[in-house]
Amino acid sequence: MDWYPEPDEQTLRQEREKARELRKSRWWQNRIARGECHYCGGHFAAKELTLDHVVPLSRGGRSTRGNCVPACKECNSRKQSLLPVEWQEYLDSLGRSDVD
């Protein structure tokens, strides 16, 4: 059994709405304007970056500034619902510390 709480549908809807609001914020616009993926460090156009939850909503994470980072589509896709330690283990299994 996993240690994280399984969020209910109402919580997931609320957190997804908060994420939509965060994407509209000046804070988020400033984050993506830097054009850097949190995970691989690659540089991208702002429109190519996605909002990723470091601790995924499905694993009990929340849509807060401290839990949301810009991620390129490839990193976000590969990370899926992994926790940071699991993401690092995945990268280590590939023999690298980033997704280059």
Q: Which residue has the higher pLDDT, 2 or 25?
A: 25
Band (pLDDT 50/70/90 cuts) for residue 1 is: very low
What is the reported pTM?
Answer: 0.85
DSSP summary character for residue 55:
S
Q: Note the helical H segments in the chain.
A: 9-24, 26-33, 73-79, 84-93
The angle subtended at Cα 39 by Cα 34 and Cα 42, nearest 5°, is 50
User: How high is the mean pLDDT of the chain?
Assistant: 91
In one-letter notation, the amino acid at residue 16 is R
Range 29-44 average pLDDT: 96
In one-letter notation, the amino acid at residue 1 is M
Residue 11 and residue 60: Cα distance in Å, rounded? Answer: 10
Query: Which residues pair with residue 53 across a beta bridge?
Result: 68
CATH number given to 9-93: 1.10.30.50
**Segment 8-27, tens digit of pLDDT:** 899 999 999 999 999 999 99
Band (pLDDT 50/70/90 cuts) for residue 39 is: very high
Q: So what's the pLDDT on residue 7?
A: 84
